[in-house]
Structure 1
Amino acid sequence: MFIRTERLFLRPGWPEDFEDLVEVLDDDAVGRSIGALSLPRTPAEVRAYLKRPRDVRLPQCLINLRGESGPRVIGSIGLVPAGEEVELGCWIIRGYQGHGYAAEAVRAVLSQARTLGYSKVIARDFSESGASARVLLQSGFEPAGEMGSRMRLARQSGKHAKRYVAVLADKFADWVGARGVSHA
């Protein structure tokens, strides 16, 4: 699954991404974390992450910033099963936060989720700064009004998380389409 936005190219990770992904994850520059994407930390985990089986109904993509010198991996985004629901997970390395890349990627994946037939997507915000909540709100999520304790896979620790829901109705499709998301 490939998704192109105004500034980003979202695509599955490939074995050829091994060195770039190890470099991005090695400097512990991953800050903003939405949801339940597990971050590989060792070279062996990165290799396994890139070789894992893929489910076309649960896309997991590297977030690549498009540029004249080629794409640069700046994060990851995807959908994972969460009981009877589907949950969005996303991380962006610190040097690229605050530029709207996370919100752009989240809107693109929500648009794809709608195309895949999902009626809603949940997300959990673990950040204490409020940055992840702003990304979710900018991207069409609404607070679900509940807090829950959940294992935060990105950091292997338990923590309370705020729950958000994006209802993928026609109104949402019009809103996302107006922001230039296209699927390749």
Structure 2
Amino acid sequence: MFIRSERLFLRPGWAEDWEELLALLGDETVVRNLANAPWPYTAEDARSFIAMPQDHLLPRFLITAPGADGARLIGGCGLSLLDGEVNLGYWIEQREWGRGYASEAAGAVLRIAHALGHRRVVASHYIDNAASGRVLEKVGFRRTGRVIERFSKGRGFASPTREYEVRFDSPSDCDDDAMAGLQAA
């Protein structure tokens, strides 16, 4: 599955992406905000992530931004199961923070989740990463009121996370405005 949004192209990871993925996740500032990426992030971690099979109901994407020299990898976004619930996760390389890429990618993947028939999607962020909470709220998530400890492989310990959710009334209620600018293949 591929997604084109206004400024980004989201695609599955390819075997040749491992070195670029390794370079981007070689930044501890990024990895410490993720639950499942270990620190230090190794070549084996990058290769294993790329080799993970895709589930068509829980797609994972690498985020690329087009430029004069072609598209370059800037992050990742996707769906996974977390404690039996569909979970949205994302990350953006540090030098691209503040440009709205996380919101654009998360919104695109959330629309795909809706189109795939998911009725509820959850997400969370570490309390010390307030920018991620703003991303979630911008794309339609609401706070559940729960704060729980979640282990971070990158941090090496559990930290408090704020939980969010978005609910869809029905899989077919996605209006044209919500799907505008989104193309999936």
TM (norm. structure 2) is 0.88
Matched AA of 1:38: A
Farther-moved stretch of structure 1 (20-29 vs 160-169): 20-29
Farther-moved stretch of structure 1 (47-56 vs 96-105): 47-56
Distance in 2 of aligned mates of 1:39 and 1:78: 18
Farther-moved stretch of structure 1 (53-62 vs 95-104): 53-62
User: Over the residues paired in the alignment, what is the CA RMSD in angstroms?
Assistant: 2.3
Distance in 2 of aligned mates of 1:157 and 1:138: 28
Instruction: Answer whether contact 1:29 1:95 (CA < 8 A) is retained.
Output: no
**In the alignment, is residue 16 of structure 1 matched against residue 16 of structure 2?**
yes
Alignment of 1:75-154 (within 5 A): 75-154=75-154
Distance in 2 of aligned mates of 1:4 and 1:20: 20
Deviation of 1:105 (Å) = 0.4
Tell me the alpha carbon deviations over residues 18-51 of structure 1, each in whole angstroms, 9 at most, x when there is no partner.
2211221224452684x64535810111111111
1:110 aligned counterpart, secondary structure: helix
1:95 aligned counterpart, secondary structure: helix
Distance in 1 of aligned mates of 2:18 and 2:160: 32
Instruction: Answer whether contact 2:120 2:167 (CA < 8 A) is retained.
Output: yes
Tell me the alpha carbon deviations over residues 108-164 of structure 1, each in whole angstroms, 9 at most, x when there is no partner.
001110111100100011141410111000011011111111113454431110000
TM (norm. structure 1) is 0.88
Instruction: Answer whether contact 1:31 1:93 (CA < 8 A) is retained.
Output: no
Aligned length: 182
Distance in 2 of aligned mates of 1:36 and 1:114: 24
Report the CA distance shift for 1:89/1:129 in structure 2 as closer, same or farther (over 3 A): closer
Report the CA distance shift for 1:108/1:154 in structure 2 as closer, same or farther (over 3 A): farther
Instruction: Answer whether contact 1:32 1:131 (CA < 8 A) is retained.
Output: no
Distance in 2 of aligned mates of 1:142 and 1:18: 34
User: Mind listing any 5+ residue stretches in structure 2 that lack a counterpart?
Assistant: none
Deviation of 1:56 (Å) = 1.3
Instruction: Please name the residue that 1:53 is paired with.
Output: 53
Distance in 1 of aligned mates of 2:140 and 2:32: 18
User: Mind listing any 5+ residue stretches in structure 1 that lack a counterpart?
Assistant: none
Instruction: Please name the residue that 2:3 is paired with.
Output: 3
Distance in 1 of aligned mates of 2:154 and 2:53: 20
Tell me the alpha carbon deviations over residues 47-87 of structure 1, each in whole angstroms, 9 at most, x when there is no partner.
11111222111111111112232111111111111223111
**In the alignment, is residue 65 of structure 1 matched against residue 96 of structure 2?**
no
Instruction: Answer whether contact 1:15 1:50 (CA < 8 A) is retained.
Output: yes
Tell me the alpha carbon deviations over residues 94-113 of structure 1, each in whole angstroms, 9 at most, x when there is no partner.
11011100000001001110
